[in-house]
Amino acid sequence: MRRVITYGTYDLLHYGHIELLRRAKQHGDYLIVALSTDEFNKLKNKKSYYNYEQRKMMLESIRYVDLVIPENNWEQKTDDVLNYKVDTFLMGHDWEGEFDFLKDHCEVIYLKRTEGISTTQIKKELYGNE
């Protein structure tokens, strides 16, 4: 069984998120999503519309997602890859090169993001800011 992991906040869930998860699942049999906790988002100066439990519930209802785990800090990625026996680490292309240090433990893939949609764009259009 090939295991894939990806990370994110997944606030204001949209078709770009679904497309990323669908494409991530194509790289393996079991997709793990590490979801940023509310506390970690505060450290990143991010504010989510939905809290962690609500975002987790939405992700768990998506057929491509097999397991949702909390992302508590930047440093946990290596431990997650090892503890969950991950074969492929996958992120959006805007993170290109940032996680190459994981190549010692698994395959690292940066997928092109879905054009024309982002949470930042939605927030700007709805609220006039991020």
User: Which domains does the chain possess?
Assistant: 3-127 (3.40.50.620)
Please tell me the predicted confidence (pLDDT) of residue 11: 87
Please tell me the predicted confidence (pLDDT) of residue 125: 63
Q: Within a 10 A sphere around the Cβ of 87, how many other Cβ atoms?
A: 18
Q: Mean of the pLDDT values across residues 116-123?
A: 62
pLDDT tens, position by position, 54-81: 999 999 999 999 999 999 999 999 999 9
Exactly one of 25, 42, 44, 123 is catalytic; name it.
44
56: annotated active-site residue: no
Least confident of 15-19, 76-80, 81-85: 15-19
46: annotated active-site residue: yes
Q: pTM of the predicted model, to two decimals?
A: 0.88
- Sheet containing strand 30-36, strands side by side: 67-71, 30-36, 3-8, 88-92, 107-111
